[in-house]
Amino acid sequence: MSLSGKIAVVTGGSRGIGRAICLRLAALGATVMVNYVSNPAAAEETVQSIRAAGGKAEPVQFNVAVAAEIEAAFKNILDAHGRVDILVNNAGITRDGLLMKMKEEQWDEVLNTNLKGVFLCTKAVSRAMMKQRWGRIINITSVIGFAGNAGQANYAAAKAGIVGFTKSVAKELASRGITVNGVAPGYIVTDMTRDLSEEVTDTIKAEIPLGVLGEPDDIAGAVAFLASDDARYVTGQFIHVNGGMFM
């Protein structure tokens, strides 16, 4: 599996799952644009790890919820590199709360980052990928988008929205050699889940047939497959990486 010569953009590549995806794509030979919104030090750490291993990477700051920032960033990337081959829509946030107490801002923040961000970034690369007649778009959804979760109506709605979006865009772009797929992680150890209490973690583990939380690298492997030529005949699909907690 080689991604040599490919230009990849990973949103939210500075930390967690996104960082593991950046490291994996770079190890396979891609030049990786490591996106972040507010944590330049974390993005720099990811970039330095890639360079230390002999790979190529650059930090790129933009907020996936802001169209003007995305347009400017993708213009710069296309001016500098001439193409974007792989887009991984990974950036995501949680603003949890029970429906009765959920504020409109909590809904808007999560929908804007987790769903509108996927739309805006996909739109921003689609023209270049169509011209190239080759592209890989990989959207990170969640087990919560398929199974639902009390206290995460906003997050579940955004992640389920990604499913319909992915299938629709897969149909629109297939004739141009672009595949659009998703990866649905279960519970993965990152900053997003690190603060869960031991009690909650034990309850979650009890629902996972494989008995442990996943690691960011478990998601990176699925993304790398979907980005590769081995997945050339796969589009509009989701790989569930969740230890069996949702089948």
In the DSSP assignment, the letter for residue 230 is G
Number of Cβ within a 10 Å radius of residue 167: 16
* CA atoms of 228 and 206, how far apart (whole Å): 34
Decide if 129 contacts 84 (C-beta within 8 A): yes
Q: Does 90 bind ligand NAP (CB under 6 A)?
A: yes
Q: Does 126 bind ligand NAP (CB under 6 A)?
A: no
Q: Tell me, yes or no, if 155 is annotated catalytic.
A: yes
Residue with tokens 């946030």: 93
Q: Does 152 bind ligand NAP (CB under 6 A)?
A: no
Decide if 34 contacts 59 (C-beta within 8 A): yes
Q: Which residue, 48, 46, 42, is CA-closest to 22?
A: 46
- Residue span 48-67 as binding mask against ligand NAP, x where in contact by CB under 6 A, dash where not: ---------------xxx--
- Residue span 164-193 as binding mask against ligand NAP, x where in contact by CB under 6 A, dash where not: ---------------------x-xx-xxxx
Task: Report residue 6 as tokens.
Answer: 């490919």
206 phi and psi angles, rounded to 5 deg: -65, -20
Q: Does 235 bind ligand NAP (CB under 6 A)?
A: no
Q: Does 243 bind ligand NAP (CB under 6 A)?
A: no
Stretch that binds ligand NAP, among 24-32, 50-58, 84-92, 227-235 (CB under 6 A): 84-92
How many residues form the binding site for ligand NAP (CB under 6 A)?
30
- Which one, 49 or 193, has the nearer CB to ligand NAP? 193
* CA atoms of 94 and 153, how far apart (whole Å): 10
* Interface with ligand NAP (CB under 6 A): 11-12, 14-18, 35-39, 42, 63-65, 90-93, 113, 140, 142, 185, 187-188, 190-193
Active site residues: 155
